[in-house]
Structure formats: structure tokens, C-alpha cells
Amino acid sequence: MDDIQAVSELVRDMAGELDPRDPRSPLDLWRRLVGADLHEVGLSEEEGGAGGDLVHLCAVVRECAAAGINVPVVEYHLGRVLGARPSSSSDDVLALHVAEMATLPGEVTARLAWGECAQRVAVFDGRHRAWLLDSGSIDLQVGTGVGLSNNHSARLAMRVTSAAELRTDLGQIFWQRSALLRAAGLLGAASTAFRMTDEYVTSRHQFGRPLRKLPAVARSLAVMRVQLDKAEAALSAASQVAHLLGPSSMSRVVAADCADEIVRTAHQLHGAMGTTWEHPLRTVTTMVWDWRDAERPVREWKRLVGEQAAHGGEPALWKAHLGTANHLAPGTVS
């Protein structure tokens, strides 16, 4: 058994003991991950991390998403990339806010995933500057809620009185990791949506035979499978050159589009039952809708890829996807 498979199975076992429909499960799983130092995977020991690379961290993110349990692993990792100190406390939840042209100290108003329970907030202007806010620098908080995918989001109105400035010139690294990790999560959630749908249309019968025997249903399953394989191939290619922005961005776009198609078809084949609070399908489909626009809307990733196509044509797209070119387009984040 290789180490990536071992990490995957460890996280799968942890998540498998929890009910994804229970609002307490995200923080329960987060505490288990912290207890095993899995939240620090992908960061070197010199940085206070647990070692491993981004492929190992993708395995952690993918398994959590496949279990339908949203945990702040990506937010924590990106905050650490920006320079936030490591933490061994399972109660130290690090939220993330990307605000173009942010300037601190000052006023910040935003809906933050994990804002309801965050002890720290990393704010990034999307290009060159980042700040870390602790509970003592946040003057006001209004509105709470579990969010679309049970991520304890909160509407925060922060009057920032002090902010520790973190590392600078991190745009390329931040966006590359954001793209790759979100692609892994989208693929994990979509794979579970496909599995649930396959099991459902196999077990349900109509006109004396399983639903999957109906031509229209069989075709829909085949389309879902193709979309899943496409997203898998894009993530696999990006993982081979995980330090490059171009392939990660392509993977992000492909994963979002494929996951959208899969969850749309999953709900169509499940019917109204799949949208109920009791049914586990919604735990992965809402995560797809939540994550597809996390940190940066997918339309912006598409715009960057489109600029690459307009600037260099098809050869430039192939170079970006295969990792032989690391620049998406003129004006790409630096």
C-alpha cells in the first residue's frame, strides 16, 4: 500500500464513523484530522507541517468531500501558505477571506465559511498582500448560520483595529493551491453523487425492471461516468506538476463543469427525494455548489483560460494543461 492510499483510507475511516447530515460532523471530523496532524499535510516539517506534498493533501480533501462532510482543511492550508502560524488545537479554526484591493486596518464585511467558529481570519487581497486577524482585532460580528454545505458560515462585520501583515507576493502559489485543492474536493463530492445515483437506479424498479435498464436512464449514467473520468484525468494531469498554476487552473475549470453536470443529473434521477434534508445526496451536491465558486468564482477561472486561448490559441492551452507553460494569460495573478 502506498502512502497516498494509506492517507486516503485513514481519512475515509475517520469520516465513515460520522453522519454527514449531522451539523456537528464537520467540526467533529476537523478535530480528528487535527489530532492526527492531517490538517498539516502538504507543508514541510520546517514550516511546522506534517510533511507530504500537495498530492497527499488532495487525498485528504477528496476523501472528506466524498464523505459529504465539509471541513476547513483548504482554508487552513491556504492561510498557512499566506504565513499564518501552525496550530495544534482542534478549536483553532482558521477562516479565509479573499478581498480584492483590501487594505487593513479598516472595515471588512463579508460572509465567511467557518466564520461562526473561527479563532483567526486570514485576509488576502488576491495578489500581493495578506493579513492575519485574531479574535482580539475583530470588533463586531453579526449573523450566523450553517451555510449552504454545513460549513458554519457567518456574516461578519469586522472593524479591524490591528492586523499582522503576512508574507507578500504569494498570488501564484495561493491560486495554484486553491485551484488544485478545490478540484480535488469537487471530484470527491461528484464521485459520491455518481455512486449514490448508480445504486439508486439499480435498486429502484419500474415496469418490472431496474430503472437503469431504461435507455434514457442508462444514457444519463453513461454521461455522468464520462464527466467523472474527465475530471479525474484533469486532476491527475495537474497533480503531476502540482507546483504549476496552468494545469491546476485547467483542472479547476474541468472539475467544476463536470461536477455541475453530475449533480444536476443525480438530482434529476433521484427526483424530489434527493433534495430532502434526510437524504444524504444533498450533502455532496450542496458542497459542489458551494466549492465551485470558493476563493474565486469559476467564471473567473474560465475567463483566464479563455484569455490564454485568445492569446496563444490551442497550442498554448495544451502547453498550460501539460505543464510546459506556467502562464495562463496576460494579467494573470502573479
Q: How confident is the model at residue 334 (pLDDT cuts 50, 70, 90)?
A: very low
Mean pLDDT of 81-92: 81
Answer whether 55's CB lies under 8 Å from 239's CB.
yes
End-to-end CA distance of the chain: 38
* Cell numbers at 26, concatenated: 464537520
Cα 23 to Cα 151: distance, rounded to the nearest angstrom? 9
State the number of CA atoms in the 13 A half-sphere of 113 facing the CB.
Answer: 21
Tens digits of per-residue pLDDT, 113-130? Answer: 887 777 888 888 887 788
Domain residue extents for the chain: 3-165, 171-322
Q: Which fold is adopted by the domain 171-322?
A: Butyryl-CoA Dehydrogenase, subunit A; domain 3 (1.20.140)
- AA letter at 167: R
Answer whether 158's CB lies under 8 Å from 107's CB.
yes
E-strand spans in the chain?
93-98, 106-112, 118-124, 130-134, 154-160, 164-165, 205-206, 209-210
Tens digits of per-residue pLDDT, 177-195? Answer: 999 999 999 999 999 999 9
* Cell numbers at 156, concatenated: 461578519
Cα 65 to Cα 9: distance, rounded to the nearest angstrom? 14
Nearest one of 197, 191, 184 to 279, comparing CA atoms = 197
DSSP state of 272: G
* Cell numbers at 288, concatenated: 459542489
Global pTM reads: 0.89
Per-residue pLDDT, 190: 98
Mean pLDDT of 235-262: 91
Nearest one of 170, 173, 133 to 42, comparing CA atoms = 173
